[in-house]
Structure 1
């Protein structure tokens, strides 16, 4: 059941059952190939091949009988993360040919053997969604902030991030950005983000982050080596620069950790929006690659909270919403912004690589 020409097909995110499980894996293969990640594509294709076999023990039986929506649950990346962790931790040397990019033709057999040998370790990786915190996405946020300031919003920003994971983007004030010839951030920062820039440059403005708080239902503590390893396991092995960025983020967190609360997104947002907003600041809700993991009723609540708060926003106390999320119809990540006063519509600023490699600016 190899996938020679996997194609991403628009699928109802809430679909369940064996066909939905198979489609989730095929879509993930297509997505990885399209994103320049052949190793991760090979892992997901090997797992797809195991769906029609009896291999993989209890782990693969649970995958085949997945009760929830496989696509929305990011099922392929849950098990792929566990396998990558085995490799990173040196627990399964037999997987080395895969992760070294040698493209073994018997990858499905290697992975089946590994799953069966490490069943107790891998089973918990299916219990929750992947943690996909990535510093490279901060470049999108920085570009959006420049655009907001150019629109006349105050340049002092109070950030509220939902789905913060380890809070890597909450530390973005410490990063340096080179965005189509526009530079912003401390010159001495170890974290330098220079995505390939496509299109016109963003506005040559500046901003300052005066507050940055976030939430997550299962926050990751980068100061704990075991938790840091788990986060690294969700990095696709092809993108070696992401590991360097993760190391820089771990160093930053050990110096001064980000502020993250263990809360669901709607409760966190309601509490933060209820706080007084200082004059001359822009309060910003931001999130990246997390919207799909938030339950539908909670997403509706977030929209209602923002629209209600937007009605009270003023020229010197505006509210903005910056989103970097996947468009399930176009199979692309889009940077979109909405702000109040005047927040009746969304503005699409860019299309972007999911891990920060490039930004195609539309402005």
Structure 2
């Protein structure tokens, strides 16, 4: 490990990718860190962050922008030599060959790589709904009302249609068996309340939403999926097809302004505001303002028109574990319903949850 925050960030991300199921990105990021320390071509690609603090590098997910840029190039086929050695299902990984091809591609494709890296990653991980599902089911069961679901930080809006997926997770079997999108996480603990749910209204916003009708933006979204995790790629492609057919819409808006203007309790419905791996990227001031706005919405909730705040975000003391948190009004009672893998690969259900 060097004192260079950039190479340090790459190595930390390498360990995270390895732990979360991507040995390819784990090894590739390690090679990229070594190249950076040696003054290789990676240094020029990361020049905009040369003086960045480790905090800023994490906030802007720089260590994922870099490999994702090469993933985007490889999947698009503009560099056949790179595409030929990039991960493909059924073909053994060859990280050294992939890295040699990636370095060789930089001179001809530097502008494309740099342009990709100007945008933050937006993975829109579909399997995170494995954790959110228990929250939605809890609200629906406890209130006995149809839901109005509103998502902030929604990216492409894939998780906006969580109720149209099929869930098969240990004791949890829920949703349309004919759905093309299967959520098959490992499940620990008892099941959440598995009753029917009616979603009467749904909405979503993102500061810079991905337009799935645009092939270029769709390609960019898929490039943010780690390339040796083929199940994630298949699941995301199927979810894209599903939500396009369903008429997905994500408003381009600031989360605070959108929430304040458009989210409010409504008699006869349980209104749910939710987000997943979004909160951590907000500045502290924005977090405080949004939390205050949510509290204000909650203060207007009634038994006839309840309100809930549902989140899938890192645990305060462990970024490698997500917590599914649910706060409900009237009353503002908060619970941790579950712990989860960052991509939803496993869920540890805590029953009624912990305060």
TM-score normalised by length of structure 1: 0.87
Higher fraction of helix: 2
In structure 2, the residue matched to 1:133 is 124
| Among 29, 45, 60, the residue aligned to 2:46 | 60
| Aligned residue among 108, 112, 116 for 1:117 | 108
Q: Aligned residue for 2:75?
A: 88
Please, what is the CA RMSD of the aligned residues? 2.2
Structure 2 CA distance for aligned equivalents of residues 223 and 86 of structure 1: 20
Instruction: State how 1:49-198 maps to structure 2 within 5 Å.
Output: 49-56=34-41, 58-66=44-52, 69-95=56-82, 96-97=84-85, 99-100=87-88, 101-105=92-96, 108-150=99-141, 152-198=142-188
2:344 aligns to what SS in structure 1? coil
Question: Retained in 1: the 8 A contact 2:28–2:95?
Answer: no
Q: CA offsets per residue over residues 338-358 of structure 1, 9 Å max, x none?
A: 1112214x3212221222222
- Asked if 1 retains the 8 angstrom alpha-carbon contact of 2:85 and 2:97, the reply is no
The whole-number CA distance in structure 2 between the counterparts of 1:145 and 1:295 is 27
Q: Is the 8 A contact 2:174 2:194 kept in 1?
A: no
Measure the CA separation in 2 of the matches of 1:42 and 1:98: 13
Distance 1:243 1:109, change over 3 A: closer
Residue pair 1:28, 1:44 contacting (<8 A) in 2 also? yes
CA deviations 1:286-320 (Å, max 9, x no partner) are: 11111122222211111001111111211121111
Structure 2: state its 5+ residue gaps: none
Secondary structure at the counterpart of residue 193 of structure 2: coil
Distance of 2:35 and 2:144 partners within structure 1: 54
What does residue 307 of structure 1 align with?
Answer: 295
Alignment-derived partner of residue 6 in structure 1:
none
User: In structure 2, what is the equivalent of residue 257 of structure 1?
Assistant: 247
- Local SS of the residue matching 2:39: coil
Q: State how far apart, in whole Å, the 1-side matches of 2:209 and 2:103 are.
A: 31
**Equivalence for 1:335:** 324
Question: Is there any run of 5+ residues in structure 1 with no aligned partner, and where?
Answer: 3-17
CA positional deviation for 1:243: 1.7
- Of residues 53-62 and 125-134 in structure 1, the stretch that sits farther from structure 2 once superposed is 53-62
Is 1:228 the counterpart of 2:218 in the alignment?
yes
Quote the offset at 1:107 in angstroms: 5.7
- Alignment counterpart, residue 27 of structure 1, candidates 6, 12, 19: 12
CA contact (8 A) 1:350 1:359 kept: yes
1:281 pairs with 269, 286, 289, which one?
Answer: 269
- After superposition, the C-alpha distances for 1:17-42 in whole angstroms (9 at most, x for unaligned) are x7432332222111111111101112
SS of equivalent residue, structure 1 residue 91: coil
Report deviation, 1:147.
2.3
1:162–1:265 contact (8 Å) kept in structure 2: yes
Change (3 A) 1:320 1:58: same
Instruction: Give the distance between the partners of 2:106 and 2:49, measured in 1 at CA.
Output: 12
> For 1:32 and 1:46, how far apart are their aligned partners in 2?
14
Q: Deviations over 1:93-122 (max 9, x none)?
A: 444435355244466544333333311001
Secondary structure in 2 matching 1:356: coil
The 1-side partners of 2:299 and 2:50 are apart by 47
